[in-house]
Every structure is written in C-alpha cells, then in structure tokens.
C-alpha cells in the first residue's frame, strides 16, 4: 500500500473519530443526567476521577510506541473508546458511569499520545511537507468536530432516546475509525545504535521540557475558548445570549478551512518564530476579550467575531507547527516517549482551565483574559528566544527541528509493505 493511501486512510479515520466526538461532547452531561439518578456534581466528580486516573497512561504509551510502533497503539485506543462508549448505553449508577469513563479516557490518552508519531511516519520528509501534513490533520480534526457538534444540536431537544442513539453512533464511529486505521501501512522500524534510552533522557533535555511548558500555555488558551467564552458572553457582557453558539461555530469554521493557508504563510519562518507569532495573535485575542466589557452591546455582535479571528489565526499556526516541531526536535529512538509526554501540556490545561477562569472571573470579569494575555506573552517571548543559536549546547532546540521552509528534495512516496 502506498504512503499516499496510508495518509488518506489516517485522515479518514481521524475525521470519523472527531465527528463522533463532536456529536457526543455537547450532550455528555445531559445524557448521564437523563439515564441515571446521579446529581450533576456526582457525575462531574466521577468523570474527573476517571480523567485523573488516566494521567499515568502517556508514560506507558510512549515506551510502547518506541518499542512497537504507533499504528497498533492507535488502533487499540480506538477499540477501547468504542467499547467504553458502548458500555455507556448500560449506564445507571456510579460504577456503570465510572468504569466506562475510565476506559474511554484511557483510550483517549492512548490515541493522542501515539497518533502524532503515526502522522510523522506517514508525512513526507522535509519541513514544508511535514507542516502541511500536520496542518491537514488539524483541519480534518476541526471539520469533524464541527460537523458532529452541528448534528448534536439537533439531538439536544430529542430527550433520552436521542441521547442514547448518539452514544451508539459515537461508539460505532470509533470502531469504524479503527478499521480505517488498518489500511495505514506499518513504517519500517528505524535501526539505530541508540536502542537504549529512557525518560531520564527527556528529563535532562531542558530545552524540550521548556518547549512542552510553553506549548502547555498555548493549550490553555485553546481550552479557555471552550471553557470561558460561553460564560463570559452570556453572563459577563451585554451581548445577546444567542451570540455564544455562533461565535464558537465561526471559530470552528475558520480552523477547519484555514490551516494549510496559515502554514504556507509562515513556512519561511523558523518554527519557533512561527509559534511566537501564533502566541502574539492569541495575546491580541485575550486583550480584545478583556476590552469587550467596555464595548456597547450593539457593537459586540461584530466586535466578538473579529476578536475571535485573532485566536483562530494563532491556533491555525500553533497546532500544526507545534506538533511538527515536537516531532522534529525529538530523537528518533525516543520520539514516542517525547510526543507522549507532550500530551501532559494539554491534560494539565484541561485540568486547570476551569479553576483558572472561575477564580479570576469572580474577582473581575475581564481579569482571566488579562492574566492569560500576560502569561501567553511571556511564553511567546520564551519560544522566540529558543530559536537563537544552533544547538542544544546553547540551550536551544536542535537546528533540524526549527529550520526554514525548504523541503527535502525526496518525494516521500516510497512504498511501504504492510506486514499484515
């Protein structure tokens, strides 16, 4: 099977996966409220326990990816999520919510800790080609989420039977995605003298750890869009309450359509400088959101989408470039572990975002966005400075991870032979 067809199979699998995710996410709490007698705080606690219990997964998955390759891990992750969502159909009490939730969250952690290594394997060589592959990956992710979310809007008024149908469809989507991934060929295992290695190597790699921290701050901005913007628009601003939904939809449309264009526009920049530019756009968005409290209500209908366009510009650059840089800067024999640990940035952002927003919001409506702008500005300066110098001896990411936009002259279309 050709590499080109392998990329198509991977993109199809991702699109199916994310459509199912987008379909279920808006009704998740409503579903458990409808089919169980549990209170909303209890449901939230059970899901949080499952999420925290899955935090050690990246450490294990990274080791397995380096040893066996990412393809089988990604397929296993999809099957686990399909089984977990299928078990949700029988949810009726605490245990029948907690156990499937744990299966689902473990599957999710496995997926996100291994899929970027798989994308790296199917991407053609060369900075430009790899960035475009990650950009296409992000576009499909956003499009799938958006499509699923739009359909979920129809299910919100359907009651328990509609919710249960959504759960069944989501479970099926993961199994279909796993089947599609079967057609992604295995990459040949790279033979290297550096067969040894452990997480101690990563813990000694301070530039990479710094990059993970900076990327975690960018992830916090992304999580804050879904966590904070709806509450801020509905309760904190004199804007029409109906504006929150279209605002997030507008953001999704931008992310689903502009990824490859954004990567093309920054392809001549070193990746670290491109990330600093992405951070600058996010800073402008956060400051614009903070200033929204001073904007008359009638003008917010135009002002907020314009503000959201700055976030979208930053996210369009950040998502593919950060993933490509993380992959390029990782040693070949430790890439699975490096990329798995990268996922802790997003996990931590998911955990702290609600508290970050609610604590600051109670002290001032605009305060969360002011603090977020300051933190993001600092992260942007740090990532920009990390592009100075040419090697790790100077405290920077390696030059091969941040080179300019010139592509490798190879076509990247070498055939792989599937071992299946």
* Domain covering 198-404: architecture: Up-down Bundle (1.20)
Q: Which CATH class is domain 1-185?
A: mainly alpha
Residue extent(s) of CATH 1.20.1250.20 domains in the chain: 1-185, 198-404
- Largest separation between any pair of C-alpha atoms in the chain: 65
User: Which residue would you say has higher pLDDT here, 359 or 149?
Assistant: 359
Q: What is the pTM of this model?
A: 0.72
**Could you tell me the CA-to-CA distances from 192 to 62, 187, 189, 238 in Å, in that order?**
18, 15, 9, 61
Q: What's the confidence (pLDDT) of residue 278?
A: 95
Handedness of CA 332, 336, 341, 345 (dihedral sign): positive
Closest to 146 (Cα-Cα) out of 13, 26, 231: 26
Altogether, the residues listed in the chain come to a count of 420
Q: pLDDT tens, 247-278? A: 878 888 888 788 778 878 888 888 889 999 99
Residues 84 and 104: their CA atoms lie apart, in Å, by 5
For range 8-37, the mean pLDDT: 83
Mean pLDDT value across residues 125-132: 70
For residues 328 and 315, what is the distance between their CA atoms, to the nearest angstrom? Answer: 20
Q: Is the pLDDT of residue 419 over 50?
A: no
What is residue 127's predicted lDDT score, i.e. its pLDDT? 64
Spatial contact of 236 and 361, defined as CB atoms under 8 Å apart? yes
Give the pLDDT confidence of 186-242 residue by residue, as tens digits.
766 555 444 446 778 888 888 888 888 999 999 999 988 877 888 888 888 988 877
Tokens describing residue 263: 């990567």
Question: For the segment 151-192, what is each residue's pLDDT rounded down to a tens digit?
Answer: 776 776 677 888 889 899 999 999 999 999 988 887 665 554
User: Residue 98 has what pLDDT?
Assistant: 93
Structural tokens at position 202:
């990563």
Average pLDDT over the chain, rounded to an integer: 81
Tens digit of each residue's pLDDT (9 = 90 or more) over 70-105: 999 999 999 999 999 999 999 888 999 999 999 999
By C-alpha distance, which of 235, 236, 219 is closest to 282? Answer: 219
Write down the pLDDT at residue 417.
Answer: 30
In the predicted structure, residue 107 carries a pLDDT above the cut 80 = yes
Provide φ and ψ at 8, rounded to 5°: -65, -40
């Amino acid at each position: 099977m050709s590499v080109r067809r392998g990329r198509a199979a991977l993109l199809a699998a991702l699109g199916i996966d994310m459509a199912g995710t987008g379909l279920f996410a808006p009704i998740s709490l409503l579903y458990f409220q409808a089919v169980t007698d549990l209170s909303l705080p209890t449901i939230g606690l059970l899901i949080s326990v499952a999420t925290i219990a899955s935090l050690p997964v990246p450490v294990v998955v990274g080791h397995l990816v380096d040893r066996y390759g990412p393809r089988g891990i990604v397929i296993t992750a999809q099957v686990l999520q399909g089984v977990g969502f299928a078990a949700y159909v029988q949810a009726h009490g605490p245990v029948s919510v907690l156990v499937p939730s744990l299966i689902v969250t473990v599957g999710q952690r496995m997926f996100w800790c291994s899929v970027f290594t798989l994308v790296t394997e199917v991407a053609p060589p060369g900075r430009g080609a790899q960035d475009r592959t990650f950009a296409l990956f992000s576009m499909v992710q956003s499009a799938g989420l958006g499509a699923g979310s739009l359909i979920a809007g129809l299910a919100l008024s359907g009651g328990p039977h509609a919710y249960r149908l959504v759960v069944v469809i989501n479970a099926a989507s993961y199994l279909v995605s796993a089947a599609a991934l079967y057609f992604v060929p295995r990459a040949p295992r790279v033979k290297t003298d550096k067969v040894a290695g452990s997480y101690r190597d990563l813990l000694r790699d301070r530039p990479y750890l710094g990059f993970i921290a900076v990327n975690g701050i960018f992830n916090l901005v992304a999580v804050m869009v879904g966590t904070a913007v709806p509450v801020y628009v509905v309760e904190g601003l004199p804007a029409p309450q109906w504006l929150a939904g279209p605002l997030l939809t507008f953001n999704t449309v931008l992310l689903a359509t502009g990824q490859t264009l954004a990567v093309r526009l920054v392809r001549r920049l070193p990746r670290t400088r491109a990330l600093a530019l992405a951070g600058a756009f996010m800073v402008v968005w956060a400051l614009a959101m903070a200033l929204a409290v001073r904007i008359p209500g009638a003008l917010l209908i135009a002002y907020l989408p314009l503000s959201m366009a700055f976030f979208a510009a930053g996210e369009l650059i950040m998502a593919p470039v950060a993933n490509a840089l993380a992959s390029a800067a990782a040693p070949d024999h430790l890439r699975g572990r490096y990329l798995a640990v990268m996922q802790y940035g997003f996990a931590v952002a998911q955990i702290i975002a609600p508290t970050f927003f609610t604590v600051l919001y109670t002290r001032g409506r605009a305060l969360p966005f002011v603090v977020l702008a300051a933190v993001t500005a600092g992260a942007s300066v740090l990532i920009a400075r990390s592009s100075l110098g040419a090697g790790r001896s100077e405290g920077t990411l390696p030059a091969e991870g941040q080179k300019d936009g010139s592509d490798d002259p190879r076509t990247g279309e070498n055939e792989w032979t599937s071992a299946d």
